[in-house]
Amino acid sequence: MTSFDPTAFTGYLYNSFMLGGIPVTIGLTAASITGGLILGMIVAAARASGNLAVTLLAKFYIWLFRGTPLLVQLVVIYTGLPQLGIRLDVLTCALLGLILNEAAYLSEIVRSGFMAVPKGQIEAAWAVSLSRRTTFWKVTFPQAFRLMIPPLGNSVNGLLKATSLASVISVEEILRRSDLMIQAHYQVLEVYAAATVYYLLLTSVIELGQRRLESHFGKSSLPYERH
């Protein structure tokens, strides 16, 4: 049994092929969280619309994508769409699966964030003749967003790690490139140790950004909260 080779680990850590997976992982994460947040807001609005059919459709969507594994969703999209005559490249399939899955979770975060804003504050804003648009941007949204920051940060963190599942459909992100490197050099522990460092650095940056946002918006309290 061979022991861990620190020299090989260092070599893989700075290997250009391995490093090439980092931008792919970051790109998948950024595009998926953006698309998921947009779609999630639409789903959240649909669920709160008051229209029974639209609400039931939104609930079904959330139930479906939260109740099945992301890995299964990616494989179904990658292998199932061509059977329907829809042919997409692997990167597009990965993005589609990640966005659809993430939107189901983000819709609940968005919905709970807005529901947590006291209705009395909205009514008070209307009472002083603020328009609905001004009330939303000056009263409702800042408070809801402040409440959403922690779960949103956790979602981004989890999504970054979930992009590794895209390796199953051959997207060359960090894990896929690690597997290809292992197939070429048969040094499993050293390669995966380098990949682990990449993920730890990326998730640490996300956590730092989350803390800064929480600190910034934590200072943006309403006047009555500072008394």
pLDDT of residue 63: 96
Give the CATH architecture of domain 6-226.
Orthogonal Bundle (1.10)
Distance CA 66, CA 69 (A): 8
% of the chain with per-residue pLDDT over 70: 93
Can you give the pTM of this predicted structure? 0.86
Residue 146: per-residue pLDDT: 83
| pLDDT at 94 (0 to 100) | 95
Burial class (CB in 10 A: 0-12, 13-18, 19+), 227: exposed
Distance of CA 88 to the CA centre of its chain: 22
pLDDT for the residue numbered 107: 93
Task: Please identify every stretch of the chain with a pLDDT value under 50, giving residue numbers as ranges.
Answer: 222-227
Question: How many residues are present in the chain?
Answer: 227
Tokens 């999630």, residue?
A: 40
pLDDT on residue 104: 95
Residue-level pLDDT at 227 = 38
* Domain definitions of the chain by residue range: 6-226
Q: Residue 33: count other Cβ atoms within 10 Å of its Cβ.
A: 20
Cβ neighbours around 165 below 10 Å, total = 22
